[in-house]
C-alpha cells in the first residue's frame, strides 16, 4: 500500500457506496468503512478494506472522510452529535459528501465543519450503479479550489467527468438539475416505448435507431434493456428520485425558476411511488405510462 496516498474513511456502503469504495481500494487507497449492515461491511473487507464498528472508529485516523448516504437527514445524522464525524475527526481532515442532498444542507455542513477546522466538499455524482461499478461517474463539486485540487486524484479513481461548479452547495445545485433532466428524459423514453409498442413497431429496432440520432441519450443507452425486458431491479430507486425531484422543485422555487415540465414529472414520480413502486428502478416510470394507457401492470 502506497504511503503517499491519504487514508480514507467511507461512510455509507449502499448501491453506490460499495462499488465506489472498492474502486478506491483497487486504486491503492487504504479504505476503512462503516455502514449499518454487516453484509456490506463483510463485502468491504473481502475487497481489501477495513470494516469499522462505528463512525468514530472509522474516521479517527482518516485524512479524508467520504460519505454516501440517501438524503439530508442521514447526512445530518452521521455528521453531527457526539458520535458523528465532526466530533471525531482530526482538524484539517477533508470531508467529501457525495450524497445527493439539498444545497442548503451542504452549505450548513461546510459552516459547521469550518468551526471544527474541517474542510468540506459537496460532490454528488451521476451515472447510477453502472457508472459507479465502471468508475465512469460524473462528479459535480462545490467548495474551495484548493480542496478540489487535493481531492482530484481520488475523484479520478471514481469518475471521468470531474468539475468544480462553484462554492459550497454548487455541486448539489448542479446535481438537482441533473436529476430533473434524467427524470424528464426517462419519462419521454417511457412514453415513446408505449407509443411504439401500441403502434406495432419492433421496439428493439426502434430504440436502436432512435439512440443513433438526436433522440439518443445516456439514459436511453443505460435503460434500453430495462424497457425491453421490463427489468426494474433498482440501479437508482424511484424513492430516491422522488426525494431528488423534491430538492429541485424547492430549489427552483427559491430562486424563482419555473419548472413546468419538471413539476409534471415530479408528480408522476410521486404517483408511481404511491402505487408501491418506490423500490424499483426509475426506469419503472414506464409502468406508470402503461397504466395510464390501459395496461394491467
Neighbours of 284 (CB within 10 A): 28
Distant-in-sequence, close-in-space partners of 132: CB < 8 Å, separation ≥ 6: 15, 16, 19, 20, 23, 125, 158
Catalytic residue among 175, 223, 224, 243: 175
Neighbours of 250 (CB within 10 A): 13
Helix (H, G, I), strand (E, B) or coil at 91: coil
Between CA 152 and CA 132 the distance in angstroms is 17
Q: Tell me whether residue 189 is exposed, middle or buried, using C-beta atoms within 10 angstroms of its C-beta: 0 to 12, 13 to 18, 19 or more.
A: buried
CA dihedral 4, 10, 14, 16 (to 10 degrees): -40
Is residue 175 part of the annotated active site? The answer reads yes
Contact 60, 89 (CB under 8 A): yes
C-alpha cell at 283: 426506469
Between CA 295 and CA 211 the distance in angstroms is 26
If you write DSSP's letter for every residue of 238-293 in order, what string do you get?
HHHHHHHHHHHHHHHHHHT---HHHHHHHHHHHHHIIIIITTSBGGGHHHHHHHHT
C-alpha cell at 136: 465512469
Q: Considering all CA atoms of the chain, what is the largest pairwise distance in Å, rounded to the nearest integer? A: 64
Residues annotated as catalytic (active site), given as ranges: 175
Amino acid at each position: 500500500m502506497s504511503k503517499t496516498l491519504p487514508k480514507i474513511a467511507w461512510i455509507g456502503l449502499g448501491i453506490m457506496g460499495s462499488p465506489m469504495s472498492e474502486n478506491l481500494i483497487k486504486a491503492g487507497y487504504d479504505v476503512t468503512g462503516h455502514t449499518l449492515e454487516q453484509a456490506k461491511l463483510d463485502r468491504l473487507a473481502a475487497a481489501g478494506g477495513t470494516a469499522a464498528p462505528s463512525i468514530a472508529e472509522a474516521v479517527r485516523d482518516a485524512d479524508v472522510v467520504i460519505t454516501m448516504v440517501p438524503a439530508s437527514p442521514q447526512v445530518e445524522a452521521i455528521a453531527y452529535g457526539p458520535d458523528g464525524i465532526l466530533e471525531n475527526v482530526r482538524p484539517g481532515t477533508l470531508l467529501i459528501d457525495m450524497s445527493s442532498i439539498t444545497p442548503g444542507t451542504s452549505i450548513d455542513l461546510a459552516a459547521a465543519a469550518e468551526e471544527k477546522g474541517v474542510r468540506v466538499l459537496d460532490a454528488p455524482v451521476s451515472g447510477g450503479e453502472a457508472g459507479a461499478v465502471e468508475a465512469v461517474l460524473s462528479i459535480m463539486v462545490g467548495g474551495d479550489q484548493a480542496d478540489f485540487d487535493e481531492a482530484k486524484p481520488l475523484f479520478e479513481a471514481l469518475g471521468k467527468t470531474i468539475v468544480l461548479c462553484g462554492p459550497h452547495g454548487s455541486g448539489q445545485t448542479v446535481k438537482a438539475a441533473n436529476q430533473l433532466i434524467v427524470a424528464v428524459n426517462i419519462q419521454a423514453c417511457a412514453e415513446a416505448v408505449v407509443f411504439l409498442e401500441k403502434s406495432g413497431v419492433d421496439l428493439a429496432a426502434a430504440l436502436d435507431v432512435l439512440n443513433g440520432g438526436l433522440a439518443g441519450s445516456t439514459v436511453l443507452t443505460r435503460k434500453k434493456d430495462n424497457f425491453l425486458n421490463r427489468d426494474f431491479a433498482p440501479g437508482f430507486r424511484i424513492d430516491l428520485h422522488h426525494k431528488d425531484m423534491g430538492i429541485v422543485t424547492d430549489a427552483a422555487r427559491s430562486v424563482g425558476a419555473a419548472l413546468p415540465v419538471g413539476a409534471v414529472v415530479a408528480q408522476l414520480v410521486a404517483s408511481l411511488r404511491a402505487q408501491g413502486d418506490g423500490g424499483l428502478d426509475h426506469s419503472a416510470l414506464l409502468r406508470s405510462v402503461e397504466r395510464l394507457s390501459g395496461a394491467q401492470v
